Amino acid sequence: MPGTPKTPALFLFAHHDDEFFIAVTMRRLAAARLPVAALWLTRGGLHGDRREAESRQAMELIGVDPSSLHFLRLADGRSLDNLEDIVERLMRLMRELKPASIFTPAFEGGHPDHDTAQLAAAVAIRRMSKVVSQTASENQSGAENPGAQPIHKPTLYEFPLYNRSGARLLRVGEFIPGTTEIKQTPVRLQDRLLKRRLAVIFRSQRAIIWPLTGLRGGPMMVHVKDEPYRQVPASRDYAVRPYPGRLAYEYYTSVRFQHFAGIAARAILPPAPP
């Protein structure tokens, strides 16, 4: 499992209920007494307060400490317009928590807020490593600085929610094929029961979560498969479509990939030298 003791895994979610798709992995980390923190970007429309309460309830069930929950409360669907604010907040949180790993929704064109969450994390990591390497080289030329922080760079992971790559409608909980090795958190009976309880907790999202997860495996949720996640390649280019052709969100939102790509190209810096 990623993360080492005392260096938390930070989960970055676009919406309340994104955690449904990585809940078992969070639970495993928490059960191993590894610190887990979470940041939600959006507020969740009209039901904002209720949805935040649902996430707090879900985290209690998963075993995440309430003091490790952070909320940015942006308007739903508008996170791309607030990219710089998100990056700033993330960098502050990264300085504070020094996470060993950051988990974000996959870059898969399912929802612009999901892709923005990962873009923000990638931008924050690249900017932070640039600052750290600049500080390190300045220190080399000057006097020795015993208080210097060791270079700290979290590993970025992604988990799939839904996309339209190679699917007539939506592919749920499966990655767009890539070259990075996919890790799987094994899902046992108690984890399926957790997913079932979570599906009930996120009742304001019933219209979305229930059809996505199906709840079709009966009370034991036997159709719930192992939970995939994989490392995000450090060189990923966010100005290139995650797959050729029209993205899922281009069918049901007014956001077009060109808009995302323009913002991504301006925000991202070339990766810092290793």
Q: Which residues bind Zn ion (CB under 5 A)?
A: 14-15, 18
On the CB side of 127, how many CA atoms lie within 13 Å of its CA?
18
Identity of the residue, 15 or 195, whose beta carbon is nearer to Zn ion in the bound complex: 15
Q: How far is the CB of 54 from Zn ion (least distance, A)?
A: 13
d(CA 42, CA 39): 10
CA distances from 181 to 89, 136, 177, 229 (A): 30, 32, 10, 9
Q: Judge whether 54 and 16 are in contact, CB under 8 Å.
A: yes
By beta carbon distance, the residue nearest Zn ion is 15
Q: How far is the CB of 268 from Zn ion (least distance, A)?
A: 22
Identity of the residue, 19 or 191, whose beta carbon is nearer to Zn ion in the bound complex: 19
Identity of the residue, 129 or 163, whose beta carbon is nearer to Zn ion in the bound complex: 163
Strands (E), 21-167: 36-42, 69-74, 101-105, 155-159, 162-163
Q: How far is the CB of 12 from Zn ion (least distance, A)?
A: 12
Q: Kind and range of the H or E element at 78?
A: none
Identity of the residue, 40 or 238, whose beta carbon is nearer to Zn ion in the bound complex: 40
Identity of the residue, 81 or 96, whose beta carbon is nearer to Zn ion in the bound complex: 81
Q: How far is the CB of 189 from Zn ion (least distance, A)?
A: 27
Identity of the residue, 16 or 127, whose beta carbon is nearer to Zn ion in the bound complex: 16
Q: How many C-beta neighbours within 10 Å does residue 111 have? A: 25
258 forms beta bridges with none
Pairing status of strand 101-105 against strand 155-159: parallel
Q: How far is the CB of 80 from Zn ion (least distance, A)?
A: 14
Q: How far is the CB of 236 from Zn ion (least distance, A)?
A: 20
